C-alpha cells in the first residue's frame, strides 16, 4: 500500500468524526491565535531538541514533564485515541473514553521521553508543507545526525476548531504510526475490550518511565 493510499485509509474516519466529535470541541475551547502547520511542528521539534540536549540532567521523568505540555499542544491525542480504538470507542462509556485518552496520552509522552534520551549533534529541518488527503497538510521534516543519513519524518496535520494539530506521523519507511497503533490495539480490544487496552497502555508507559 503506497503512502497516499495508506493515509486515506487511516484518515477516512475523520470525515465523520471531526464535524461532531466531542473530543475536538472540548480540547479546542481556548481562543489562542492559530499557528501555521509548519510552526506547530517546528515548535515541537525545538522542544524535542532541548530535551535531548539536557536528557541526562533531566532523566526520563524530567523529560516526560518537559514534553508533556508541548505534546498535548501539538498532537490531537483525543482524536488519535478515538481513531485508533475504532468501533470500540462508540461502544464505550464517557468514563472509559476519558480513561483511554489519558492512557493513550501517558504512553505517547512516555515513549518520546524514553526514546529521546541523549544528544550527539542532531538537528531538525522542516523542509516544507503540501496538501494531503482528507483536508490535511503534510509537513515534511528530517532528523539530521552527523555522519549519518537523514531520517525523513512527515507530520500529518489538520485544522480543528481553528488550530492546526498533528493527527499522525509517517516514519522514514512511509508507515503511518496511527495505522500501526490501530492494528496493535485491535488485537488487545478483541480480547480485553476498552478496559484491557487502558491497562495495557498504562503498564507500557510505566515500564518506559521506570527505565
Within-domain flag for 131: no
| Residue 1 pLDDT | 44
Within-domain flag for 140: no
Number of domains present in the structure of the chain: 1
| Residue 27 pLDDT | 45
Helix (H, G, I), strand (E, B) or coil at 58: helix
Residue 8: pLDDT above 50?
no
* 161/23 Cα distance (integer angstroms): 11
Within-domain flag for 141: no
Q: 78 lies in which domain range?
A: 3-123+158-167+175-210
| Residue 172 pLDDT | 77
Using a pLDDT cut of 70, give the percent of the chain over it: 84
Residue 144: pLDDT above 80?
yes
> From edge to edge, which strands make up the β-sheet containing 151-160?
123-131, 137-144, 151-160, 163-170
Residue 4: pLDDT above 80?
no
3-state SS of 97-147? HHHHHHHHHHHHHHHHHHHCCCCCCCEEEEEEEEECCCCCEEEEEEEECCC
For the segment 171-180, the average pLDDT, to the nearest whole number, is: 85
147 pLDDT band (50/70/90 cuts)? confident
For the segment 104-117, the average pLDDT, to the nearest whole number, is: 97
Within-domain flag for 129: no
Query: Per the confidence metrics, is the pTM higher than 0.75?
Result: yes
Within-domain flag for 25: yes
DSSP string, 177-202: HHHHHHHHHHHHHHHHHHHHHHHHHH
pLDDT digits (tens, 9 = 90+) for 182-192: 999 999 999 99
The DSSP bridge partners found for residue 128 are 140
Within-domain flag for 196: yes
pLDDT digits (tens, 9 = 90+) for 64-108: 999 999 999 999 999 999 999 999 999 999 999 999 999 999 999
Amino acid at each position: 500500500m503506497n503512502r497516499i493510499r495508506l493515509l486515506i485509509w487511516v484518515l477516512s474516519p475523520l470525515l465523520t468524526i471531526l464535524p461532531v466529535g466531542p473530543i475536538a470541541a472540548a480540547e479546542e475551547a481556548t481562543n489562542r491565535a492559530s499557528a501555521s502547520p509548519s510552526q506547530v511542528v517546528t515548535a515541537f521539534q525545538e522542544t524535542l531538541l532541548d530535551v535531548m540536549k539536557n536528557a541526562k540532567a533531566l532523566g526520563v521523568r524530567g523529560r516526560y514533564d518537559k514534553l508533556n505540555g508541548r505534546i498535548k499542544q501539538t498532537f490531537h491525542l483525543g482524536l488519535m485515541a478515538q481513531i485508533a480504538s475504532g468501533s470500540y470507542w462508540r461502544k464505550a462509556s464517557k468514563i472509559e473514553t476519558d480513561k483511554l485518552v489519558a492512557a493513550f496520552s501517558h504512553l505517547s509522552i512516555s515513549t518520546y521521553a524514553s526514546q529521546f534520551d541523549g544528544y550527539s549533534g542532531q538537528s531538525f529541518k522542516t523542509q516544507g508543507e503540501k496538501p494531503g488527503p482528507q483536508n490535511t497538510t503534510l509537513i515534511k521534516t528530517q532528523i539530521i545526525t552527523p555522519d549519518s543519513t537523514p531520517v525523513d519524518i512527515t507530520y500529518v496535520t489538520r485544522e480543528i476548531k481553528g488550530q492546526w494539530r498533528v493527527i499522525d506521523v509517517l516514519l522514514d519507511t512511509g508507515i503511518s504510526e496511527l495505522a500501526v497503533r490501530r492494528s496493535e490495539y485491535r488485537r488487545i480490544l478483541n480480547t480485553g475490550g476498552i478496559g484491557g487496552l487502558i491497562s495495557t497502555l498504562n503498564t507500557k508507559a510505566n515500564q518506559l518511565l521506570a527505565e
